[in-house]
Amino acid sequence: MTARAKTEPASPRYDIAALVEALGDVPVVTEPVIVRRRSRDFFWYSPILAEQLKAVAGDIIVQPRDEADVVRTAAACAKLRIPLTVRAGGTGNYGQAMPLEGGVILDMTALNAVLWQKPGVVRVQTGMNLLALDGETRANGFELRMHPSTKRTATVGGFVAGGSGGVGSVAYGGLREPGNILAARIVTVEEQPRILELRQDAAQKVNRAYGTTGIITELEMPLAPAWPWIDVIVAFDTFRDAFEAGRAVALADGVVKKLVTPIAWPIPSYFGSLKAACPEGKAILVCMIAEPFLDSFKAVLGGRGTVTHEAPSQEGPGQVPLYEFSWNHTTLQWLKTDRSITYLQLLYPHDRLEETVFRLMEQFEGEVLPHLEFIRFAGRITCSALPIVRYTTPERLDEIIRIHEDHGVMVANPHVVSLEDGSRHKRADADQLGFKADVDPMGLLNPGKMASYVAVR
C-alpha cells in the first residue's frame, strides 16, 4: 500500500507529517503492518538477536524513484533530525538494515537500472536485483565475479553495503580485494546533501558499513567471463576426505570454479530436494565448475568420492540453484525445520588451515558442525566457515567464539548489532569512521550500527 500520510505517526519521536510535506510527491508507505514487515531482515538466524530486535520498526517507508528523490529525502531527514536506514532486498542475517531508532526506511529498489556496461565492467543503480543484473550482463558474455547465496532476492547495493564475499570468492576473493569494487556514487546526509564519487580504494568506505557511510545510489562493478556452470555434489566417507578433495580443487588454478564447499554430516540431511544426492552418513563437497573444465575437475578428484549430482546450474522460477545450499543458505536449509540451531562466521588461518579445522572439529564434536567455504584471502587459499551450532545459552556461544579466537580463527560475530562487535577486528575501520563524520555528521544513517561514532546533532 503506497499512500500519503493522513494521520499522526505511531511514534511521537519524529515529525513525520513535516517530513511528508517536505518530500512532496516522493512515494511513501505509512501502513504500520507494512512498515513493520519492511523493517525486518533475517536477524532471527540468531536466537540472541531474535529477542533483542523483535520490536524494532521504522515510522515510514520512503520509496525514491531516482537520485533526485534520494537527495530530497536526505535533506529533509537532516533538517528534521530524523534517522534514515537504507534498505533494499532485506536479505541480511543480523539486522544490518533494521532501523534501531525508527525513522525513515529508504527503500532503494526502484533505482534498478543498468546505466552502462562494457567488457569486464558494469555501472548500475544500487537497487537492482543481482539475478536480473546477471541476466543483463550475460547477454554480452559477462557475469558478476561473486554474489551472495541470496542472489535471487538480494540487490547489488545491499551486497556491497552488508556483504563481504560469497559464491565466486574461491576465485576472486572478497569484496575488499583490490578491483572487486571499482566505484561508488553516494549521497551525503546533510541539510544540503552532496553527491560524491568514490573510486578504487576510496569505494571501500561504503563496503560492509551497513549503510552508515552515505546513501549509495550507483556502483561500478567488475565482471568475469560468463561460463556455463555445472553443479556438482561429491559424497565422501569422512569430512576429512571432503576437505582434502576440496582443497585440491581450490588450489587447481587451471580449473575454473565458483564454489568449493565441504559440508559435514548430518547437515546434508536437511537439504530437502537434494536428499537423493546426499547419502546417509556421508560428508559432501558442493561445487560449481565451468563446463569446459569438468573433466579436469574430475581428474583433480582422482577417483576420490562418488559424484552423486551433476547438472547445469539453473536459476529460473521454480528451480533451486545449488548455491542456495552453500554460504549462509546452508544454515537456512536447517532452520526451515529446526530453529534450535544457529551459526557462526569464521575465517581460518591460511598457514594452519587443516590443523585448526580438525582440532576444533574434534573439540566441538556434535556441537559445532563443520561447513567450510574455500576462498582466496589476500592471495592465499584458506577457508571461511559458517558452521552449524547447536545452541544452548548465550554464555556457551560466547565461550565457543572465545575458543575459536584462541586458536587464531577470526570470528565475525553474527549475534551482535554493531559493526564493531561483529567485525573480525572488533573495531570500526578507521577510514570508514572518519568518512562518516564527513558524510553523516549528525549520525542519522542507521544509528546504533557504527557504535563508536559520536554524532553532532
pLDDT for 10 beyond 80: no
Closest CA relative to residue 184, chosen from 156, 163, 165: 156
Instruction: Spell out the residues 6+ positions from residue 222 whose beta carbon is closer than 8 angstroms to its own.
Output: 120, 121, 145, 179, 180, 182
d(CA 72, CA 307): 56
Residue given cell 570508514 in the structure block: 432
Rounded Cα distance between 339 and 335, Å, is: 5
- Residue 350 CA to residue 377 CA, distance in Å, equals 8
309, 291, 293: which is closest to 235 by C-alpha? 309
pLDDT digits (tens, 9 = 90+) for 253-281: 999 999 999 999 999 999 998 999 999 99
Residue 426 clears pLDDT 90, i.e. is over it: no
What share of the chain has pLDDT > 70, as a percent? 94
User: Is pLDDT of 134 > 50?
Assistant: yes
**Residue 320 corresponds to which amino acid?**
V
Calculate the average pLDDT of the chain: 91
CA distances in angstroms from 80 to 17, 103, 412, 449, listed in the order given? 11, 11, 35, 21
Pairwise CA distance, residues 375 & 246, whole Å: 11
> Whose CA is closest to 147, among 123, 185, 175?
175
Instruction: For the chain, count helices (H), then strands (E).
Output: 14, 21
pLDDT at residue 457, as a whole number: 57
d(CA 230, CA 189): 45
φ and ψ of 244, to 5 deg: -65, -40
The region of weakest confidence among 8-12, 301-305, 324-328, 425-429 is 8-12
List the single range of 257-261, 306-310, 371-375, 421-425 with lowest mean pLDDT. 421-425
Burial category of 92 from C-beta neighbours within 10 Å (exposed 0-12, middle 13-18, buried 19 and up): buried
Amino acid 2: pLDDT: 41
Query: What tens digit of pLDDT does each residue of 182-212 get?
Result: 999 999 999 999 999 999 999 999 988 888 8
- Is the CB of residue 93 less than 8 Å from the CB of residue 48? no
Q: How far apart are CA 229 and CA 195, in angstroms?
A: 39
Residues 220-240: tens digit of each pLDDT = 999 999 999 999 999 999 999
Q: What are the Cα distances from residue 103, in Å, to 98, 258, 313?
A: 11, 40, 41
**What nine digits make up the cell of 449?**
550500527
Which helix H or strand E contains 142, and what residues bound it? Answer: strand 142-144
E strand segments, 155-279:
183-187, 195-199, 215-225, 229-236, 257-263
pLDDT at 421: 65
Task: State yes or no: pLDDT of 422 exceeds 90.
Answer: no
Model confidence at 448, pLDDT cuts 50, 70, 90, reads confident
Are 215 and 70 spatial neighbours (Cβ–Cβ below 8 Å)?
yes
Name which of 97-106, 176-185, 418-427 the model is least confident about. Answer: 418-427
pLDDT at 285 over 50: yes
- Quote the pLDDT of residue 430: 60
Q: Is 261 in contact with 285 (CB distance < 8 Å)? A: yes
The reported pTM is: 0.90
